[in-house]
Amino acid sequence: MAKFMNVVRSKVKEGMKDEYMKKLQDFFNKMKGTDGLISMKQIQTAPNNMCIVGEWKDQESIAKARDKMIAGLDTVRPLLEEISPELGVTDPVSGSVIMEI
């Protein structure tokens, strides 16, 4: 089975980064111990641009955790700016790891 990764890109509203980080820490704490979760990281790509990166044992693990992840993201959605009308406030992608060093 191939490892699986997910990335959720978002942009935090001006002045809301501290609240976002607090809520995100709560979300990360709730994700600890989730079956199949290898790691979860938050990266900052610009002053208000963020990405959550998750590494999973396999695709089945992330599928089982999807409702838990959506519930966690729901807690921060009011703090996020719309990326586009098509995407809304998050740009989630996921896929199999095909190369790793």
Structural domains of the chain, ranges and CATH numbers in brackets:
4-96 (3.30.70.100)
pLDDT of the residue at 22: 97
Taking only the tens place, the pLDDT of each residue in 46-94 is 999 999 999 999 999 999 999 999 999 999 999 999 999 999 999 999 9
pLDDT of the residue at 1: 72
As a whole number, the mean pLDDT across the chain is 96
Tokens read off for 51: 């990405």
Residue 39 has pLDDT above 90, yes or no: yes
Residues 77-86: contacts with CB within 8 Å, 24+ apart? 79/12, 79/13, 79/16, 79/19, 79/20, 79/23, 80/10, 80/11, 80/12, 80/13, 80/20, 81/11, 81/12, 81/13, 81/48, 83/9, 83/10, 83/11
pLDDT of the residue at 65: 97
